[in-house]
Amino acid sequence: MTDASALPGQPRGRVLSGPATERAVNVLAPNASAMTLDGTNTWIVAEPDSDLAVVIDPGPLDDGHLTAVVDMAEKAGKRIALTLLTHGHPDHAEGAVRFAELTGTRVRALDPALRLGDEGLAAGDVITVGGLELRVVPTPGHTADSLCFHLPADRAVLTGDTILGRGTTVVAHPDGRLGDYLDSLRRLRSLTVDDGVHTVLPGHGPVLEDAQGAVEFYLAHRAHRLAQVETAVEDGYRIPAEVVAHVYADVDRSLWPAAELSVRAQLDYLSEHGLIQPM
C-alpha cells in the first residue's frame, strides 16, 4: 500500500461523510463512478458557534442525498441559509433547485441560468453568513463557469472539479480552455504561497493536506501531457481520437472520451500559441 503522504497533495484517506475541518463538513453523494470517483462531495460550511450554514454543491438530483444534507446540518444545530455552486455540471448542480425548495435558500452561481434569486457570484466577492467568510476565486478552465471558494479561517479552499482529491481533472472542451485552466492553477498556487492555504476540499475524492503540492503536481502533469500531445502531432497523429490512443494508452479506456475532451483543449492551446499547425 502506498503511503498517502507520498501521493500528490497528501490525500487524507477514505472519503467519508463528516467533519473535514473546523468549519467544513462533507456529505458524500451516492453517485460514485469513474468520472465522479467516490461520489460528489457536498460541503456544509459554517462557523462553529453559528446557527447558520452555507452549502456548496448540493450534488445530483437525489432526494435521499439532499435530505441527508439537511439532516446533517440540523443535527449540528444549523439552518442552511445559502446555496453556492462551483459550476454547472449535473453531478454538482442538478439537485440545486430541489434543494432550494427543501431549504428555502437562494442559489448563487456564476452562470445566471443556474441562479435562484437576484444575486450571482463574481471574482472578488466576499460571502458572509453567520460570521463565516468565503472568498470567491474565479477558476475557469475545467468549465467556463468554474469557481473556487477560499475559506480563510480554515486555511482551506473548496475547489469543485478544478482540483480533485485523486487523479486529475478534465478540461471539458469546448467550454473549458487549457490556457484559462493553467491560469487558474497559478491563481490557486498564489493562495497557497501568499494566503497560507494548505487544505483542499475537493468536489470529488479525499481531502488534500498539501494544497501547494497538489497544485504543483497539476501544473507539472499538464506540462507533461501537453508535451506528449505536441510530440504525438509531430509524429503524425492528427485526429484527437488517435492522439488519445497514443498518449493515454495507459489510462482506462472507459475514460478515453473524457481524455479526448482534454486533448481537444490541448490541441487548441498548441495551435493558438503557434506550436502546431491549426488542425
User: Is residue 180 flagged as an active site residue?
Assistant: no
Instruction: Please answer whether residues 29 and 42 qualify as being in contact, where contact means their C-beta atoms are separated by less than 8 angstroms.
Output: yes
Pairing relation of β-strands 52-56 and 79-84?
A: parallel
Sheet holding 24-28, edge to edge: 18-19, 24-28, 41-45, 52-56, 79-84, 107-108
Q: How far apart are CA 192 and CA 198, in angstroms?
A: 6
Instruction: Please answer whether residues 59 and 88 qualify as being in contact, where contact means their C-beta atoms are separated by less than 8 angstroms.
Output: no
DSSP code of residue 106: -
List the grid coordinates of 85.
455552486
Catalytic residue among 38, 57, 62, 91: 91
Task: Give the residue among 268, 261, 265, 230 at the shortest CA–CA distance from 247.
Answer: 230
Mind telling me the catalytic residues? 91
